[in-house]
Amino acid sequence: MKENGRKQGAVSPCAACKLLRRRCAPDCVFAPYFPADEPQKFANVHRVFGASNVNKMLQELPMQQRGDAVSSMVYEANARIRDPVYGCVGAISSLQQQIDVLQTQLAVAQAEVVHLRMRHIPF
Amino acid sequence: MKENGRKQGAVSPCAACKLLRRRCAPDCVFAPYFPADEPQKFANVHRVFGASNVNKMLQELPMQQRGDAVSSMVYEANARIRDPVYGCVGAISSLQQQIDVLQTQLAVAQAEVVHLRMRHIPF
């Protein structure tokens, strides 16, 4: 058990504790969501939100909601790293534009349906 | 000029420097975007991203993009405080659902247009 330089309690640290160079306690708040084999996942969240904020945000949530919170933070962090100016707000704008286009197309199609149906009404 | 306890250089600090209790330098990176009269704007961004991350993210951007970056960070921070589990990713899911509904409605309307047009084709 001396291979990784530890004499005892040699539990492999999670990705967060590894990056933060701290002991990964059995009740580590990060460990269930940031496994050691996905280091980039925590690195991005840490870069955007900061480990201490992520820790605080998770601690404030019940256990059963933490997985979803981590997923949404990872999504936001990745978006912010990809697009440092707009982050995932860029995706929101683009989706809203798509909705505008679809609503216009739907209005046009529905108006045409009404118009075509009118032509079938017998005089 | 002694009213606020300063003898000289008594420039009113921006909301960020006020919260962080530091001197607001003339080249403060926060000052153009976080005026003293909007303390909550910085408080939310600080709570979610952390002042040092916001500082770093702004420093890495050219001046002309920083205003948009601040707006998107403020939006994200407000969304995360309102919804600590999903943040603004909740808005993205909801917009995507709206798009799915609209696409279905559009497909139905367009199919009806085709069907009604067929009835007008003379045999």
- What would the pLDDT profile of A46-88 be if each residue is shown by its tens digit? 999 999 999 999 999 999 999 999 999 999 999 999 999 999 9
Q: Where are the domains of chain B?
A: 2-82, 88-123
Question: C-alpha angle B56/A78/A46, rounded to 5°?
Answer: 50
Q: Are B80 and A68 in contact (CB < 8 Å)?
A: no
Distance CA B68, CA A87 (A): 10
The contact set of A with B (CB < 8 A) is: 47-50, 52-53, 57, 60-61, 65, 68-69, 71-73, 75-76, 80, 84-92, 95-96, 98-99, 102-103, 105-106, 109-110, 112-113, 116-117, 119-120
| Tokens of residue A68, six digits | 């979803």
Which pLDDT score, from 0 to 100, does residue A10 have?
A: 53
Share of chain B above pLDDT 70, in %: 89
pLDDT tens, residue by residue, A10-42: 568 999 999 999 999 999 999 999 999 999 999
Q: Distance from CA of residue B105 to its chain's centroid?
A: 31
Give the other-Cβ count within 10 Å of B60's Cβ. 11
Q: Are B52 and A53 in contact (CB < 8 Å)?
A: no
Nearest residue, CB atoms, A109 vs list B50, B98, B106: B106
Least confident of A115-119, B48-52, B54-58: A115-119
Which chain A residue's Cα is nearest to B85? A69
pLDDT tens, residue by residue, A84-113: 999 999 999 999 999 999 999 999 999 999
| Tokens of residue A4, six digits | 């990784």
Residue A49 · residue A35 · CB < 8 Å: no
Q: Are B99 and A95 in contact (CB < 8 Å)?
A: yes
When pLDDT is averaged across residues B17-45 and rounded to a whole number, the result is 95
ipTM value for the complex: 0.81
Residue A77 · residue A48 · CB < 8 Å: yes
Confidence check: pLDDT of A7 > 50:
no
Residues in chain B: 123
| Confidence tier at A1 by pLDDT (50, 70, 90) | very low
Element spanning A10, H or E: none
Residues 6+ apart with CB under 8 A from A72: B85, B86, B87, B89, B90
